[in-house]
Amino acid sequence: MTEPAPAALPAPVPALPVPPGTNPPPVVLISGISGSGKSVALNALEDAGYFCVDNLPTELLRDFIRLQREQGARRVAVAADVRSATSLPRLLPLLDELRREGQGVLSLFLDSRTETLVRRFSETRRRHPLSLLQDGSGASSRSALIESIERERELLVTLREVSTVIDTSDLRPAQLRAWVRQLGDAAQSQLALVFESFAFKHGVPRDADLVFDLRVLPNPHYVRELRALTGRDPGVIDFLRAQPEVAEMLAQIEAFLDRWLPAYEQDQRAYLTVALGCTGGQHRSVYSVEQLAARYRARMPTLIRHRELEAREER
């Protein structure tokens, strides 16, 4: 049996004129693996003032943006996932067209480890969009679920490669909401730096573009008076500032970034995530993130994440 020919695409809608000297409001695309938190991310943007729509067909995206501009909406967010698999191949060319027309587009891709996704689907007893097999309780069998997740990764790999990736495996919903709001607020054509501290004992962030290991530096954890503090506290700051190795490490990281940031900008990236890790993610990495962010904040958009501290503060 031959497959029916695809329906003809509608004629492109002319781009809405933008007054000289102004930038159109940014469009944020939320995509990713099912169960990775797209609904949480979309709700965070809606709370931040975005006009949001879930699973909009690609063919309607340009019309939707045009309509929202005409109605005065400042910012727009759209969620796309594997449910729109038939129209996903048209999505990337359309996003390129919008960027060439001067429309700011931020593509965020949410991902998680497979074992984390399996646990989430098991806890919610929801069926994966690609699952074909179900057990008697209505939940997908584990083998079918894993197969569906891996198939989804294959379908979305191209979109992931051109997006800013957020690994939600170890994120609480409040952390994800805060990070997405930060990225949405900074959405623009200029490259933004994201400095993130983390603990190696909890794993390297899977969404990091560059990773630096600070475990060779003197550790305030072994100073009894400093153990309960963090890299944002004066005592730890004074301790680390007095260590020549710390100053040398930060200077070398800054020199590396200065050398290669122009290349990353030419690669048309929206964000570059620089992850700095130490053993516990409390002292050296936190201090270094704060110091580097202060050096770059006057030069370019800069965001800060402290993965372990944020998780601890929520408890």
pLDDT tens digits for range 141-152: 778 888 889 989
Residues of the chain with CATH 3.40.50.300: 27-185
pLDDT on residue 183: 83
SS3 213: strand
pLDDT on residue 311: 76
Whole-model pTM: value is: 0.65
Q: What is the mean pLDDT of residues 277-305?
A: 95
Q: State the DSSP string of 79-141.
A: E--GGGTTTHHHHHHHHHHHHHTT--EEEEEEE--HHHHHHHHHHHTPPPTT---B-TTSSBP
Q: How high is the mean pLDDT of the chain?
A: 83
The pair of three-digit structure tokens given for residue 77, joined into one six-digit string: 């967010």
Question: What topology does CATH give the domain 27-185?
Answer: Rossmann fold (3.40.50)
Does the pLDDT value for residue 24 go beyond 90? no
Whole-angstrom CA distances from 1 to 4, 8, 136, 142 are 9, 21, 33, 33
The kind and range of the H/E element at 294 are helix 284-296
The pair of three-digit structure tokens given for residue 220, joined into one six-digit string: 């305030």
pLDDT on residue 48: 82
Contact 195, 302 (CB under 8 A): yes
Q: Computed over its alpha carbons, how large is the radius of gyration of the chain? A: 22
CA-based nearest residue to 226, from 235, 238, 217: 235
Q: In what order do the strands lie in the sheet with 192-199?
A: 210-213, 271-278, 192-199, 302-306
pLDDT on residue 268: 63
pLDDT on residue 214: 98
SS3 194: strand
pLDDT on residue 310: 84
Whole-angstrom CA distances from 209 to 32, 203, 249, 256 are 18, 15, 18, 13
β-strands 105-111, 27-32 pairing: parallel
Torsion angle defined by CA atoms of residues 28, 31, 35 and 40, in that order, rounded to the nearest 10 degrees? 10
Does the pLDDT value for residue 11 go beyond 80? no
Does the pLDDT value for residue 18 go beyond 80? no
Burial degree of 24 (CB within 10 A; 0-12, 13-18, 19+): buried
Does the pLDDT value for residue 20 go beyond 50? no
pLDDT on residue 158: 87
Dump pLDDT digits (tens) for 221-251. Answer: 999 999 999 999 999 999 999 999 999 999 9
